[in-house]
Amino acid sequence: MSVDTETVARIAALARIKLGEDELAAMVPELNAILGWVEQLGEVDVTGIEPMTAVIENHLRLRDDVIDADPLTGGGKRGDVLANAPAAEHGFYGVPKVIE
């Protein structure tokens, strides 16, 4: 499968990356080279093979339902979560106005 300019433009839009025309034109052959190369995976017979889910055999741990049990992953830190925000106002993150 090879991608055309329109497809790359659609993918870039989906990924929210604005591409200039030159950038888009350059990207098409690059992506095609990479996609053409990864497609050799299609040769592999994977009959009866499960896709990998855990790299190393391990079990999902579930945590107890306790508020702020670990301060590093708890709430109540508005200052910390807003500290790096480009446009924080009145305790909110500001973004350009959204019309729903």
Partner 1 sequence: MNDYRIQGATGDWEVVIGLEVHAQITTQSKLFSGAATEFGAEPNSQVSLVDAAMPGMLPVPNRECIRQAVRTGMAIDAQINKYSRFDRKNYFYADLPQGYQISQLYHPIVGTGSIEISLDDKEPEASTKTIGVERIHVEQDAGKLMHDQHPTMSYVDLNRCGVALMEIVSDPDMRSPAEAGAYLRKLRSVLRYVGSCDGNMEEGSMRADVNVSVRKPGEPFGTRTETKNVNSVRFVMATIEHEANRQVDVIESGGTIVQETRLFDPGSGTTRSMRSKEDAHDYRYFPDPDLLPVELDDEFLSECRDSLPELPDAKRHRYENEFGLSSYNAGVLTAEVETARWFELLLMESARAQGEPPAKVAKQAANWLISELFGALNKLGTDLENSPISPEKSGELLALIGDGTISGSIAKQVLELMLETGDAAGVLVEREGLKQTSDTGAIEEVIAKILADNADKVADYKGGKDKLFGFFVGQTMKAMQGKANPQVVNELLKKALG
Partner 2 sequence: MTDLTELGVAAIRDGVAGGDFTALEVAEAFNANVAAAQSVLNAFITPTPEKAIEAAQAVDAKRASGEPLGKMGGVPIGMKDLFATKGVQTSAASHILEGFTPEYESTVSQKLWDAGAGMLGKLNLDQFAMGSSNETSFFGDAINPWRRNDGGNAALAPGGSSGGSSTAVAARLCPAATGTDTGGSIRQPAAFTGITGAKPTYGRCSRWGIVAFASSLDQAGPMARDVRDCAIMMEVMAGFDPKDSTSLELDVPSWEASLSPDMTGKRVGIPREYRLDGMDADVAKSWDDGIAWLKDAGAEIVDISLPHTKYALPAYYIIAPAEASSNLARYDGVRYGLRDLPEGAGLQDMYAATRAAGFGAEVKRRILIGTYVLSAGYYDAYYTQAQKVRTLISHDFKNAWSLCDVALAPTAPSAAFALGDKSDDPLAMYLNDVYAVPASLAGLPAMSVPAGLNSEGLPLGLQLIGREFDEQGVLNAGLALEQRAGFVAKPEKWW
Q: Is 56 in the site for partner 2 (CB under 8 A)?
A: yes
Residue with the two structure tokens 């990924």: 15
Contacts of 88 (CB under 8 A, 6+ apart): 82, 94
Q: What angle do CA 92, 97, 99 make, to 5 degrees?
A: 125
Q: Which does 49 bind (CB under 5 to 8 A by kind): partner 2, partner 1, none?
A: partner 2
Question: Which residues of this chain interact with partner 2, rule CB under 8 A?
Answer: 1, 3, 7-8, 11-19, 27, 30-31, 33-35, 37-44, 46, 49-52, 54-58, 60-61, 63, 70, 72-73, 77, 79-87, 93, 95-99
